[in-house]
């Protein structure tokens, strides 16, 4: 079993091509000739598109960013930046892992079907009631809740 793999090769190609074009036409701080960017991008396109997981795809895009030599440019993804490295679903008064985002969680034994009992010392249902925003309501927050010392990680 590996981490989530939701993106097809065609979607990956579309994303990296869009990224390459945005850099080419909108990046202001090239430390080399802009025409070199096409060569760098095209040389890496096949290996980026063929990454085995979405996590590896994001890592490949980040490595492509390194060539820009700009500390302000990076690749961000909503799934990768989710406060938990897995997705859950509530069934009655029980919460189970439904999908795992990172290979590290799989190696740690967190697999789809794993029941989450506690988070930050609270029963998982109580934690959800206190810390998780109810779905279906518009909201603005200062950030996502973080999870520390979860019993799910040992």
Q: Which pLDDT score is estimated for 83? A: 59
**pTM over cut 0.85:** no
Q: Spell out the SS3 assignment of the chain.
A: CCCCCCCCHHHHHHHHHHHHHHHHHHCCCCCCCHHHHHHHHHHHHHHHHCCCCHHHHHHHHHHHHHCCCCCCCCCCCCCCCCCCCEEEEEECCEEEEEEECCHHHHHCCCCCCCEECEECCEEHHHHHHHHCCCCCCCCCCCCCCCCCCCHHHC
Band the pLDDT of 152: cuts 50, 70, 90: very low
The percentage of the chain sitting over the pLDDT mark of 90, rounded to a whole number, equals 15
Which residue carries 């961000």 as its tokens? 76
The mean pLDDT of 143-148, rounded to a whole number, is 36
**Model confidence over 49-73: pLDDT tens digits?**
999 888 788 888 888 888 887 777 7
What is the pLDDT confidence band of residue 143, given thresholds at 50, 70 and 90? very low
| Domain spans, the chain | 9-66, 86-133+146-153
């Amino acid at each position: 079993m590996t981490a989530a793999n939701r993106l097809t090769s065609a979607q990956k190609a579309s994303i990296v091509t869009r990224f390459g074009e945005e850099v080419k036409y909108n990046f202001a701080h090239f430390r080399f000739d802009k025409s070199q960017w096409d060569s760098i991008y095209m040389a890496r396109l096949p290996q980026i598109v063929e990454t085995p997981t979405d996590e590896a795809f994001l890592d490949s895009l980040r490595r492509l960013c390194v060539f820009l030599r700009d500390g302000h440019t990076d690749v961000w993804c909503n799934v990768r930046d989710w406060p938990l490295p897995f997705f859950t679903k509530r069934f009655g008064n029980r919460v189970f892992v439904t999908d795992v985002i990172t290979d590290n969680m799989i190696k740690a034994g967190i697999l789809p079907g794993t029941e989450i009992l506690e988070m930050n010392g609270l029963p998982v249902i109580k934690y959800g009631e206190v810390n998780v925003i109810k779905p279906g309501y518009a909201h603005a927050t200062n950030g996502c809740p973080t999870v520390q010392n979860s019993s799910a990680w040992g």
